Amino acid sequence: MYITLIFLGIIMATVIVWLLRQTFNTQPWISEAADNEVSGASMDTNTKAVALTVFLAVATSVFALFISAYTIRMEEPDWRPITEPTLLWANTLMLILASIAYHWTRGAAVKGIDSRVKPGLTVAGVLTVLFLIGQLVAWQQLNAAGYYLDLNPANAFFFLLTAVHGLHMLGGLWVWARSTMKVWTGADSDSVRLSIELCTVYWHFLLLVWIVLFGMLLST
């Protein structure tokens, strides 16, 4: 559970420090006019960005807990490490490229360069789909090699972790599909800018999660 604790510790510490900074040095009992200094929003940004940040904290918690469970279960004597298919390296490359593509698209959308948004989005999506297909192929390779899910917890964790990560990826693709449809039916980049910005963050996040998971799977 240390890993979860460290992650959650960081999240909680951020929350607590932020809240304390908001609340220290205040004298709530003193009344004061509601002028422009006394804002009603805590963050000078879009609400959806705030919601995404909160959601990423939730997802971090999920993955940290899985990783903790992995490290605890690993200690039992029946654990037989698996040899990961080399295909995973290719998949990782796809995901890195997808993230870069999204980043590039984001730059275009922010600057309002419409002509780049359509190809950028498309490439990012295709790369992500390739990643997911690659993961499915990796599953099949493992099965073919006799690493069945129920044979050993190491196998089970491999399938479980990749599945959970893949599902998060699919969720992202749903949002991606919506903005891509918009762009293909002629909407300008401004109408999808926010969605692209948020997706970029989400893709980077899932890339980071994947690298951590992959590293853990490889090294154990």
Partner 1 sequence: MAYVSIADRDHEVEHHDPDTFISKYVWSQDHKVIAIQYGVLAILIGLVGMLLSSAFRLQLGFPDMFEFINPENYYQFVTIHGMIMVIYLLTALFLGGFGNYLIPLQLGSRDMVFPFMNMLSVWVYALSVLILVASFFVPGGATGAGWTLYPPHAISPGTPGTDWGIVLMLLSLAVFIVAFTMGGLNYVTTVLQARCKGMTLMRMPLSVWGIFMATILGLLAFPALLVSAIMMLFDKLLGTSFFMPAMIQAGVATDTVGGSPVLFQHLFWFFGHPEVYIVALPAFGLVSDLLSTHARKNIFGYRMMVWAIIAIGGLSFIVWAHHMYVSGMNPYFGFFFATTTLIIAVPTALKVYNWVLTLWQGNIHLRVPMLFAIAFIFTFTHGGLTGLFLGNVTIDLPLSDTYFVVAHFHMVMGVSPVLVVFGAIYHWYPKMTGRMYNETLGKWHFWLTFLGTYSLYLPMHYLGFLGVPRRYFAMGNTEFMPDSAVTLNASMTISALIIAATQLIFIYNMIWSLKHGEKSGGNPWKSTSLEWQTPDTPPKHGNWGHSLPEVHRWAYDYSVPGQAEDFTPQTVPESEVPVGRDHGVDS
Interface positions, 71-90, toward partner 1 (CB under 8 A): 72-73, 76-79
Q: Are 92 and 211 in contact (CB under 8 A)?
A: yes
Q: Annotate 61-120 with three-state secondary structure.
A: HHHHHHHHHHHHHHCCCCCCCCCCCCHHHHHHHHHHHHHHHHHHHHHHHHHCCHHHHHHH
> What is the residue whose two structure tokens read 């995973």?
88
Question: What's the rounded Cα separation, in Å, for the pair 58 and 47?
Answer: 17
- Write the binding mask 106 to 145 for partner 1: x where contact by CB under 8 A, - elsewhere: ----------------------------------------
| 38 is a site residue for partner 1 (CB under 8 A) | yes
Question: What's the closest the beta carbon of residue 191 comes to partner 1, in angstroms?
Answer: 11
CB atoms within 10 A of CB 24: 7
Q: Which two tokens stand for residue 45?
A: 């940004």
| 97 is a site residue for partner 1 (CB under 8 A) | no
> What is the residue whose two structure tokens read 């919506």?
178
- Write the binding mask 152 to 171 for partner 1: x where contact by CB under 8 A, - elsewhere: -x--x---x---x-------
| 191 is a site residue for partner 1 (CB under 8 A) | no
Q: Is 147 helix (H, G, I), strand (E, B) or coil?
A: coil
Residues that bind partner 1 (CB under 8 A): 1, 4-5, 8-9, 11-13, 15-16, 19-20, 22-23, 26, 28-29, 31-34, 36, 38-44, 47, 50-51, 54-55, 57-58, 61-62, 65-66, 69, 72-73, 76-79, 149-150, 153, 156, 160, 164
